Structure 1
Amino acid sequence: MSNSLSTIMIVDDSPSDLSLTSAILESNFAIIKAKSGSQAINHFIHSENIPKVVLMDASMPEMDGYTTCKEIKKLDQANNTEIIFLSGHSSIAEKLQGYDAGASGYLTKPFQPLELIEKIKLAVARFDQKENFEMQSKYAMETAMSAIMDAGEQATVIHFMRQCLICPSVEELVTLVSSSVSSFGLTNTVELRTPWKKIHSSSNGSTSPLEIELLTALQNIGKITQRGKRLILNFGDISQFIKNMPEENPDKCGRLRDHLALILEAANSRLQSLILAGDIKELILESNEHIQKLSESQSIQKQKNVAIMDEMHDEIQSEFFTYGLTEEQEKILLAIIGKYSEKIFESYEKSLKNDAELLLITSKLKKSVDRLF
């Protein structure tokens, strides 16, 4: 039989009628013969070669054509199969019975061969049309479901982006990455690297030493590497290990890789911002500590200067008698000493004001960094 011919089944308990009908049709169709209703039903159940059209003898012993037609139509694999009754009865009641049984055609014996062939060709065309419609409907449904799933996945990515922008710490960031990827149904482990430590998060709740070792060993193999169900992603100072990518669904697999790349790119950008913010805050803290220490040192130095000036003043006064200075000369000399002492203390007070201004500047800078990050 040629594979290019449409397959039809002839069901007839009469060997002569079965042979005659087969001879008429064998040049146009691939023929399957069944001598009884039960044999026809068994073929549908056990064979993968499902006929497009069944020519059914209405009158057969044990199981008539109407009962056979009803049983065949109950089978999912025969959902699109066209059934045409061949009968010696031409009454409306007989035709309605065939229609109620699920048939799409009724031909009264004896029939013209060309008429039978034409009816079968039309039935084959209807079968093909229904099959094509089902395929298109299935494709449309798969496309719609894919669009719905993609929309849900995109909503997850958008939500992640929003949360990522306001994430206040690297600890919360690594948890956000892991939980967002988990919402795709993916089992994953994430590693964030900062100048001061490495932070891990896993969808299983804990990260095993082997997973940590793998993330460290594979962080230089490229941005996105997939081996079967396993996927490794490396974006800047973030690495992620996915254990159960849906490799059996290439479209979904590719879509998820795109989503994961967006998530890790955004996460790495936020990580760098948090690291920079930490460095700036640390610098501000160190600056404040140095300014505070300088202020304390200057305060101590002021006390020492006051003591030195008082000691110098007392010593000069005690020496006035030695040099035989007049009272007027003593007053002039003490006034000069007092004048320059005031200048020294004015300079000191000015330095204290500068320290206060520096503290104010670092305080404002800290507030700006807090708002920015």
Structure 2
Amino acid sequence: MTKLVLAIDDDKYVHRVIEESLAGFCQLIHAKNGEEGLRQAYKYSPDIILLDVEMPGKTGYEVCRELKNNEQTKDTPVMFLSGKSELPERVKGYNAGAADYIVKPFNTEELMARIRVLYQYRQHSIKLKNDVERAQNTAEIAMIDSGDMGRIMRYVGQTYHAHDVQSLSAHFFEFFRPLNLDVVVAFWYQDVGVVCTDDGGVCPLEQELLEKHRYSNRFVDFSSRTIVNYPKVSILIKNMPLDDVVLYGRYKDLFPHILEVTNAKIQDMEVNEKALAQAHAVGNAFNELSSQLFVSSEAREEAVAKLTTQLSELRALIQHDPAFAANQALALQVEQLEQTQLQLTVLNDDLAFIKHQLNHIIESRSELIDSLSKIATPEHTQDVTSQTDIELF
């Protein structure tokens, strides 16, 4: 299916660059100002809109806000084209409703890559929209029967059975659905940001904002958005009720409980993963050491056996040859070799005991790895009590 892209810009040169960059990649509609762009958007319902910031008449921000306030175009991804690259400008674009922001001049590969991401984001959002609405309706019914504390308790129980980011995020979004909040979450797992949304689509600006504000204050409010930061998890609330003081206060009291639990769970997952990796490393080292001891002990046993045979032959030669029997120096050397033989025999016995202990350690290590693996990926999990089964107090 051909992508339909609307380009709104007052610069003819930019239109030509876009035309050349996207030739054969998508179908283009051109508009030279904001008013014409709005008419084209309402008429053709494009998949993606490229929007200049500075234009005569309506600015790009004004056009974007009108698009987002219109039922027909509110879900159409908008990507701003601007010569300004500072973060405040990007935030301003995001507040106006944009999904991405590209700085002029741009190259063909960058523009195509960003359009491809936005198109996939758009198609995925459309596909999951009905499922999300049904899930929200179900969660709203559950909300009637459960208060905040009951749902927090349920979430704590669910996290006990979550052992990867994917399952943890599923429980995380289940908690937020009844609140009618549009949430983007970033799990800072092993210092790598894993960004998720309930419908599976994350626009580039949302990910950039979470990364830029990761080390900012605990609560960061801008427009109707709020970012809440913890060391291992950050969330972006896209429709925070800043104008409702009571509801906003309730949410600010509620979110730390959920994020503290999530933060602790991420840390626990990291510790388990590190412990499992260390157990594997220690086990591998012991296996290698055991193999080397096995090879070297065989060589020593062969050497001791050979020495024993040679000593026996030497004793027989001395006993049957009077010339050798009278040689006291030779007799002393034989006695010293016999002592060396005895020491080597004792050493072999000690090494045999060490090998036995190493095998015992290796077996214990295997049991430890099995236990850690079961903790990380359990075969069976118990169902957590549903929200309607929670008795509130």
2:356 alignment partner in structure 1? 353
1:278 aligns with 2:273: yes
Work out which of the residue numbers 208, 213, 220 in structure 2 matches 1:218.
213
Deviations 1:38-96 (A, max 9, x none): xxxxxxxxxxxxxxxxxxxxxxxxxxxxxxxxxxxxxxxxxxxxxxxxxxxxxxxxxxx
1:261 aligns with 2:256: yes
**1:201 counterpart SS class:** strand
Gap regions ≥5 residues in structure 2: 1-142, 377-393
Work out which of the residue numbers 285, 289, 296 in structure 1 matches 2:291.
296
Output aligned runs, 1:89-168, within 5 Å.
Answer: 151-168=146-163
* Number of aligned residues: 224
Check 1:259–1:150 CA distance in 2 against 1; reply closer, same or farther (3 A cut).
farther
Q: What is the rounded CA distance, in whole Å, between the counterparts of 1:228 and 1:325 in structure 2?
A: 107
Work out which of the residue numbers 310, 330, 343 in structure 1 matches 2:305.
310
2:187 alignment partner in structure 1? 192
Deviations 1:90-115 (A, max 9, x none): xxxxxxxxxxxxxxxxxxxxxxxxxx
Deviations 1:277-321 (A, max 9, x none): 111111111111111111111101111112222333344455553
CA contact (8 A) 1:178 1:201 kept: no
CA contact (8 A) 2:311 2:338 kept: no
- Larger Rg, first or second structure (1 or 2): 1
Deviation at 1:246, TM superposition (A): 2.5
Q: What is the rounded CA distance, in whole Å, between the counterparts of 1:156 and 1:199 in structure 2?
A: 24
Gap regions ≥5 residues in structure 1: 1-147
CA contact (8 A) 1:235 1:265 kept: yes
**2:181 counterpart SS class:** coil
State the TM-score, normalizing by the size of structure 1: 0.52
Deviations 1:19-48 (A, max 9, x none): xxxxxxxxxxxxxxxxxxxxxxxxxxxxxx
Higher relative contact order, chain-length normalized (CA < 8 Å, sep 6+): 2
Check 1:187–1:170 CA distance in 2 against 1; reply closer, same or farther (3 A cut).
same
**2:147 counterpart SS class:** helix
Q: What is the rounded CA distance, in whole Å, between the counterparts of 1:183 and 1:332 in structure 2?
A: 90
Check 1:181–1:334 CA distance in 2 against 1; reply closer, same or farther (3 A cut).
same
Output aligned runs, 1:225-236, within 5 Å.
Answer: 225-236=220-231
CA contact (8 A) 1:171 1:199 kept: no
CA contact (8 A) 1:174 1:200 kept: no
1:324 alignment partner in structure 2? 324
How many percent of aligned residue pairs carry the same amino acid? 17
RMSD value, Cα: 3.2
State the TM-score, normalizing by the size of structure 2: 0.50
Q: What is the rounded CA distance, in whole Å, between the counterparts of 1:196 and 1:256 in structure 2?
A: 27
Q: What is the rounded CA distance, in whole Å, between the counterparts of 2:354 and 2:191 in structure 1?
A: 36
Deviation at 1:228, TM superposition (A): 3.0
Q: What is the rounded CA distance, in whole Å, between the counterparts of 2:274 and 2:226 in structure 1?
A: 33
Q: What is the rounded CA distance, in whole Å, between the counterparts of 1:246 and 1:356 in structure 2?
A: 63
Q: What is the rounded CA distance, in whole Å, between the counterparts of 1:279 and 1:180 in structure 2?
A: 29
